[in-house]
Every structure is written in structure tokens, then in C-alpha cells.
Amino acid sequence: MMETRRQFFGRTATGIGTVALSSLMAPSAFGAKGLPGLPHFAAKAKRVIYLHQSGAPSQMDLFDYKPGLRQRFAEELPDSIRKGQRLTGMTSAQKKFPVAPSVYNFAQHGKAGTWLSELLPHTAKIVDDICVVKSAFTEAINHDPAITFIQTGSQIAGRPCFGSWVSYGLGCETDDLPAFVVMISRGTGRKVDQPLYDRLWGSGFLPTAYQGVKFRSDGDPVLYLSNPPGLNSATRRSMLDDIRQMNEINLKEFGDPEIVTRIRQYEMAYRMQTSVPELTDLSKEPASIFEMYGPDARNPGTYAANCVLARRLAERGVRFIQLYHMGWDHHEGVPRQLPPQCMDTDQASAALIQDLKQRGMLDETLVIWGGEFGRTVYCQGNLSPENYGRDHHPRCFTVWMAGGGIKPGMSYGETDDYSYNITENAVHVHDLNATMLHCLGVDHTKLTYRYQGRDFRLTDVAGTVVKDLLA
């Protein structure tokens, strides 16, 4: 693998053009299929679909049922619960921290009697297929470091994201599409929300061949994929051949692995001119699929439409598919803003699980749903029986997982009566990522990359596989 031998190629640049050319002629022999020796052990999951809910869904309004809070409406959050934990700048100056119970009803579903909010009627139908983890926690209290942390294992930008680590280690099952694809949708509950930066699906210090490729909802799915006016496929092929020859000359002279990335990406883009239009053409999908995913499934750029594309990408061998859905940062007006967000995502998320299952793909596909942290039980701003807001809360939040290697039909972990502190089976972000890598057959301590004299990994120097979550 050239990417793991920077120093070697820096010393021996002779013949490197031949290696680069062989990578194009036989990609399976040159890391397109992953690192030698990976997976480390038999994998349960072949691929990942990560449904990231950007902005942080309120766990106590959706998953973490706390019926006793209704009798404590507007009471001050006890110091014994808050324990002096830090607050954001948005609520640190509040003189009071009144308890804001959820206005939504909860009911038990499935064989295990998992509690779910009335806002999630479709998720309730698949609860026996998912594992609800109510005891996740993180170290960051603000959005940018928190989403950077859960995606890259560090609060500081510059590390490779989860998808880049997976595509670097395991490669791709197809030569016609990228190993790592990203799609973004904007929620209807809060249309002006936290921004998403391209570095969240960046490769950091890994070769840029492993960064996520973002699909767009308007125009060409991928920028510059179509030929400009007056340029046909034959002319483009001839142009790429000439560019490749020039790149190989530079490769022989400088021995820079990023030149190989450039050659690969040009070739991938050429193949994607055929594969992407076929992928994004939903005209052959039966009406029953759109009915399953919901009315938005026919509208490009919506969360539901992206879920359909996620299934199609998984069918075609894409290793890591990341969906970001914005709009979950509800500092005020939770009863007004939260229901539309659930309308955006509930049916489509459940349909994705059902669709994968009916196609025999769920057992080999790891699906994750969740945000970057949770929300506070105390109200931000003015509290009334009909309205409240919630601030950021890193001490506990809920994610759910399904498919490849995850034990279905269970609820894991517990929080206190205020959904403020974890009381049982805490799962740190590093533990979560270590467990997901385990499902892919990867020992998280061994998937490393040497950079600036240190071996880095997704889980930094921590992380434990949560075996209770494994099937």
C-alpha cells in the first residue's frame, strides 16, 4: 500500500509510475479493496449507513421516558443532579433552571417493551429490529467540537472522519462509485440551523482519496461530473489519458502519493459519469417503495429521498454512506420545532430498516441514528406548560443502531430521573465508535496511521467494545 509507505516512496521514487499505473489497471491489488490483513476478524457488517441528526435531538422527548417529571414541572433542577456540571454560555447566566417535562406521551413497543414517544410511530414498528442506547455521552458541550468529536474522535479539526477510516481500512466493493458518499438534507423544524463543514467528511491526514464525496440535490449530483458543451466521452477519455501521463511524469520525479490520488479520482470521475446517473434515476423504483419511505421520497434533497439513495448505494457496494439531517438544535419552541423534524425522519428511517431487511441486506449493513449530544431537562428561556426550550447536554443522549452485528430489540443503559446523568452502562463516544468498527471486523486499536511521528486512530487512545450490544 503506497499510502502506508510514505517514507519508502520518499527514498525510492524509481518505478513509482509503474506502481501507480498498476493501481489503475488492477485496483483490487492496490488498496481499492482495503489494507492487507483487514478485516482483522470475521465481519458481521460489510457496510455502514450513518444517519446523523445534526443539532442534537432531545432524548427525553423521544426515547428517554421520565414520567415523574410531570409532577416536578417548573421545579428548580436540584444541585444534587446538576453536580456543578458546566453550562453553555446560552444558559449559564440564567437565575433559574426550571424542570421542563416532555409534553409528549410515551408507550411501550415491541417484545422488549421499549419506550418511545408518540412522535415516532414508524420507529415503533421496527423497534424489535433496533438497539436503543440511552446512555451515550460525550466530552464536548458545543456543536462544532461535539460533531467533530463524534465523527473524527477529536474535538479539534484535522483528523480523518469515521467514513475515511473505514474506506482507508476496508476499501470499496465497487470500482464505479466512491467508497464513501455523503448527502445532506435540511429539516423543516428549524430551517436555519448549525452549519455543516466539509471537513466533517474529510480525510484529515489520510490521503485525500479517502474523503467523502458529497452528492448534491440540485443539478449534477456531483460537481463537474457532466461533460461541458462540445465535449463528448471520447474526447474526455483522450484528455484524461494525456493528464494521466503528465501526472505519472510528476509521480516519478516527486514520489508524492497525492499524485496517485489525483490519478485515481480522475478515473473514478470518468466511471461515475455512467454509474451516478443510473444510481440517482429513481424512475424504476416501484410505487410501493415511495409509499414506504413517505411522500417526501420523490423530492430530491429531502431526508426521505436520501434514504432511498442510501439503500441504492449500499446495493451497489458503497462502503460508508453518511446522511446529515439538519435542524435539531431546539433552544426554544421544542413543541413547535420538534414534530416537523420527526415528520422528516421517522418514516424514512424506519423504512430504510424495513427495506434493507426485506432485501436480505440488514444483517450485513450497520445502521446508526443519532446526534452529537443530548438536550437539558431544564428549560432554556421562558417556560410554560405548552412551550419550552432545551440547551446542549453532553452527559447523556440516545442513539439507536441496527443491523450487522448489533443485538436487536433491546434498550441499553439508564439515566437518572431527570435524564441528566447516566446511572447504568455508560457508553462513551470512543466506545460507540470502537463497537461499530468491531461490527466491521476491525480492531479499533490496530487501524492506525502514522502521522508526525505518532500512530493515530479513530478512537485516539481510548475506547472499549461494548459487547452487550453485539448479537
Q: Tell me: the pLDDT tens digits for 69-119? A: 999 999 999 999 999 999 999 999 999 999 999 999 999 999 999 999 999
Assess contact for 65 and 104: CB atoms under 8 A: no
CA 195 from centroid of its chain's CA atoms: 15
In the chain the domains, ranked by start, together with CATH numbers, are 33-228+291-469 (3.40.720)
Peptide bond into 39 cis (omega under 30): yes
Question: 328 and 341 in contact (C-beta within 8 Å)?
Answer: yes
User: In 3D, which of 156, 155, 195, 188 has the Cα closest to residue 54?
Assistant: 195
Q: What is the per-residue pLDDT for 224?
A: 67
CA distance 242 to 36: 31
pLDDT digits 0-9 by tens, 307-344: 999 999 999 999 999 999 999 999 999 999 999 999 99
Cα separation of the two ends of the chain: 33
**How many Å apart are CA 66 and CA 70, to the nearest integer?**
8
* CA-angle at 367, arms to 468 and 460, nearest 5°: 65
Spatial distance between the Cα atoms of 67 and 41, rounded to a whole number of angstroms: 44
pLDDT of residue 32: 61
Residue with cell 433552571: 97
For residue 430, what is its C-alpha cell?
Answer: 470512543
Q: Coil, helix or strand for 208?
A: helix
Q: Which residues in the chain land under pLDDT 50? A: 1-31
Write the single-letter amino acid at 269: A
Beta bridge partners of 379: 390
What's CA 100's distance to the chain center, in Å?
Answer: 30
Q: Dihedrals φ, ψ of 408, to 5°? A: -85, 165
pLDDT of residue 270: 67
263 contact partners, CB below 8 Å, separation of at least 6: 20, 23, 24, 244, 247, 248, 251
User: Which residue reads 408507550 in cell numbers?
Assistant: 107
What pLDDT does 350 receive? 98
- Cell 413497543 sits at which residue? 109
Going from the C-alpha of 447 to that of each of 168, 207, 450, 469, the distances in angstroms are 9, 15, 10, 21
186 contacts 218 by C-beta, under 8 angstroms: no
